[in-house]
Homo-oligomer: A and B are copies of this chain.
């Protein structure tokens, strides 16, 4: 067993969205980078088990279930009886494979060195990679079972895994977490989802679109509590209308796989629920337990989360962490930006800063997305504001695509009509929110959307409608003055 020591400007542990982004950023500035990952395939949860697969399945579900065409045209395009799970997951596999190929290729173009194997710290600058058999085949120079990587700087981007509360006997019967749910070999007739967070809400909607009867169980009584309350309530209404049943203020006290094939859940209220399958979406924990962080002196907090400062530095100066491993919000989008910032700070590249405006995009059906303040956060801060609303059903494209529930809600600061919050529920909401995001990054006020010429018919026009709606809440005498240009 040899112990080659290889030296790099930056060693990245974990090849998900955060790790890939950090490596690419450093490489594009001519730095030497090693990326080590234990999964034998690049992409992390972003490509392999999380973001991309779940969103692909969602899109497929929307298309193949005929949900849209049935509502819009009164024509049932559904092929449900003929469509197998393989049909639904076939496109997802294809998308995933294409991603692996393209990410691998772009890292090759940038001349990243990739090691497949599990990593442990030997000290604050040294990582031991226990090489997988695949990697040894690819790199005959690595004769032994392990190599050592020395990084001037090290980035931990190992992601997170689903928490398995003791009450659920994983491994017995139809009990799944978000990593395994895609391996279902049939669409369950009834699906119980434990946890009304992002993952529970998203998969609940997808399986509902696929024709499953979905029950969402949560100990609280609010869906996605970080949303503006109006949006959260509207989303509950939309999901209920689409057939999802919520069991609020309920905890699962017993979970019993049945011989007949289903699963029986006993709830804290005394009620019981039998489902064909259970998805446990009860939070995630950071993948830090096996890293040997104590050797490097890196501290962790509850659920294995690594605390970081605003530069994404851990308590050990040359070691950074980014992505799910640092906790909330644990989205692919924010993970990539955290990693970019960490790499730039670590390597003294300066320049870029993450915008403090982090949008939240939830791929429920309908989508919800937001950036900036909520009505609740503004009330807490005692900031006076004006609300402007626009409904999809009064928007030309909204009407064409047949979204009856969707709406955009803008929050303007009352003093100067600066845009300070954007909230959207509806088709393509995760895209449409970016218009408001970019406006906020440019410090825009209501004038921008009064003056803007937007394509018609588009959902983008909702911004103009909502802005004009907000200005209607200003008396005519003040209005001319308020929209006067400087």
Interface residues of chain A, those whose CB is within 8 Å of chain B, are: 17, 28-30, 46, 51-52, 55-56, 59-60, 63-64, 66, 68-69, 72-75, 77, 79, 83, 87, 90-91, 95, 98-99, 102, 331-334, 336-337, 349-355, 357-361, 369, 393-394, 396-397, 399-402, 428, 430-435, 437-439, 441-444, 447-448, 450-461, 463, 468, 472, 476, 479-480, 483-485
Besides A95-B399, A430-B458, A439-B442, 13 new A-B residue pairs in contact (Cβ under 8 A), listed by A number: A28-B476, A56-B400, A64-B73, A98-B399, A334-B453, A351-B450, A353-B451, A355-B451, A357-B452, A357-B453, A430-B455, A431-B459, A433-B455
Q: Which chain B positions have C-beta within 8 A of A98?
A: 393, 399
Q: Which chain B positions have C-beta within 8 A of A402?
A: 91
In this complex, what residue of B is CB-closest to A363? B457
Q: Which of B30, B95, B99, B455 contacts A434 (CB 8 A)?
A: B455
In this complex, what residue of B is CB-closest to A349? B480
Kindly provide the distance from the CB of A82 to the nearest chain B CB, expressed in whole angstroms: 9
Docked-complex contact B479 and A452, CB < 8 angstroms? no
A437 and B457 in contact, given A396-B52, A400-B56, A476-B29 (Cβ under 8 angstroms): no
Q: Which chain B positions have C-beta within 8 A of A480?
A: 29, 349-351
Docked-complex contact B87 and A75, CB < 8 angstroms? yes
Docked-complex contact A63 and B55, CB < 8 angstroms? no
Q: Which chain B positions have C-beta within 8 A of A352?
A: 447, 450-451, 483, 485
Q: Which of B74, B102, B448, B483 contacts A351 (CB 8 A)?
A: B483
Q: Which of B400, B432, B451, B452 contacts A52 (CB 8 A)?
A: B400
Q: Which chain B positions have C-beta within 8 A of A447?
A: 352
In this complex, what residue of B is CB-closest to A338? B453
Q: Which chain B positions have C-beta within 8 A of A393?
A: 98
Q: Which of B69, B74, B355, B435 contacts A435 (CB 8 A)?
A: B435
Docked-complex contact A64 and B55, CB < 8 angstroms? no
Docked-complex contact B95 and A400, CB < 8 angstroms? yes
Docked-complex contact B454 and A333, CB < 8 angstroms? yes
Docked-complex contact A75 and B64, CB < 8 angstroms? yes
Q: Determine the distance from Cα of A460 to Cα of B434 in the docked complex, in whole angstroms.
A: 7
Q: Determine the distance from Cα of A463 to Cα of B336 in the docked complex, in whole angstroms.
A: 15
Secondary structure dominating the interface of A: helix
Q: Which chain B positions have C-beta within 8 A of A355?
A: 451-453
Q: Determine the distance from Cα of A485 to Cα of B344 in the docked complex, in whole angstroms.
A: 14
Q: Determine the distance from Cα of A95 to Cα of B392 in the docked complex, in whole angstroms.
A: 13
Q: Which chain B positions have C-beta within 8 A of A336?
A: 456
Q: Which chain B positions have C-beta within 8 A of A77?
A: 63-64, 66, 77, 79
Docked-complex contact B442 and A448, CB < 8 angstroms? yes
Q: Determine the distance from Cα of A290 to Cα of B396 in the docked complex, in whole angstroms.
A: 31
In this complex, what residue of B is CB-closest to A399? B95
Q: Which of B60, B95, B434 contacts A458 (CB 8 A)?
A: B434
Kindly provide the distance from the CB of A78 to the nearest chain B CB, expressed in whole angstroms: 9
Q: Which of B75, B353, B360, B456 contacts A361 (CB 8 A)?
A: B456
What are 30 pairs between A and B in contact, CB < 8 Å?
A29-B480, A51-B396, A51-B457, A52-B400, A52-B457, A55-B396, A56-B400, A60-B73, A63-B77, A64-B69, A64-B75, A91-B402, A98-B393, A333-B453, A337-B453, A350-B484, A351-B480, A355-B453, A357-B452, A361-B458, A428-B428, A430-B455, A435-B435, A437-B452, A437-B454, A438-B442, A438-B444, A439-B442, A442-B444, A442-B448
In this complex, what residue of B is CB-closest to A29? B476
Kindly provide the distance from the CB of A10 to the nearest chain B CB, expressed in whole angstroms: 15
Q: Which of B437, B452, B454, B479 contacts A29 (CB 8 A)?
A: B479
In this complex, what residue of B is CB-closest to A83? B75
Q: Which chain B positions have C-beta within 8 A of A46?
A: 456
Docked-complex contact B351 and A485, CB < 8 angstroms? yes
Q: Which chain B positions have C-beta within 8 A of A357?
A: 452-453
Q: Determine the distance from Cα of A352 to Cα of B463 in the docked complex, in whole angstroms.
A: 16
In this complex, what residue of B is CB-closest to A334? B453
Q: Which chain B positions have C-beta within 8 A of A428?
A: 428, 431
